[in-house]
Amino acid sequence: MPHQPIGVFDSGLGGLTVLQSLRARLPDEDFIYFADTRHLPYGDKPETFIQTRGQRIAAALAKCGCKAIVVACNTATAAAAENIRAQLALPVIALEPAIKPAAALTRNGILGVLATTRTLTSRRFAQLVKSHAPNAKVITQACPGLAEAIEAEGPESVAVETLLDTCVRPLADARADVVVLGCTHYPWVRAGIAQRLSPTTTLVDTGEAVARQVERRLTQESRLGGHGRLRFATSGDPLQVGATLARLCAISMPVESWTV
């Protein structure tokens, strides 16, 4: 039915940056956002673990009546998106690092990518680079600990600032003129990343592109429609997730506890 919700999930609350783009483009749609905070971060976990989590969460969202699933996590996309699509007869829209638009934007042929270890070492990422940036110099930088520091300490915390100093410097030193934000948490610290790069460097993320793709898919299937409602659920501590929601995007509402 058109008024069924759209399910969105991430390992934590980084996917809220994608949810914001979705709600801005599709304000009448209903959304269920699931944060798998009990297992945050995904970035350094085995691929088989992430595959299993992705399939279980997608199944739980489908059981709630979701008409589409958005995998709002680059790491989960790399590990689990193909399995989820094989499992569900629903549109499954997944993120991937924005290598293609970055390659089109670069002027000096040097691209930087900030992402999790698991994303950067995935077969899917290697295929993206081979397909869309074969002639570019791609500088990859894993950022272990950054996603969880953004959630636990806040985007402007000392811990985050220290991690940004370490993670962004190699891209600045390499003179990357386009930098891909390859994790949904990183747009929360977009300003801090930009401050550590040349003023002429372009930052690219994928939230708006995902929102456009969701709109296209649901329009094709005549399934757009809703009431603008929003639900949040987590595998972790709902009070902690609620507090982080309020801090990151000024949303104050109950968070459901799901066993998935």
By residue range, what is the domain housing residue 121?
A: 99-204
Same domain, 88 and 212: yes
Q: What is the pTM of this model?
A: 0.90
| CA nearest neighbour of 213 among 74, 69, 78 | 69
Catalytic residue ranges: 73, 183
Cα–Cα distance for residue pair 146/162, rounded to 1 Å:
10
Same domain, 70 and 124: no
Same domain, 85 and 142: no
Tens digit of pLDDT at every position of the chain (260 positions): 678 999 999 999 999 999 999 999 999 999 999 999 999 889 879 999 999 999 999 999 999 999 999 999 999 999 999 999 999 999 999 998 999 999 999 999 999 999 999 899 999 999 999 999 999 999 999 999 999 999 889 999 999 999 999 999 999 999 999 999 999 999 999 999 999 999 999 999 999 999 999 999 999 999 999 999 999 999 999 999 999 999 888 899 999 999 99
* Per-residue confidence (pLDDT) for residue 237, from 0 to 100: 96
Same domain, 106 and 199: yes
End residue of a domain, out of 204, 224, 243: 204
Give how many domains the chain has, as a whole number. 2
Is 1 part of any domain? no
Same domain, 68 and 192: no
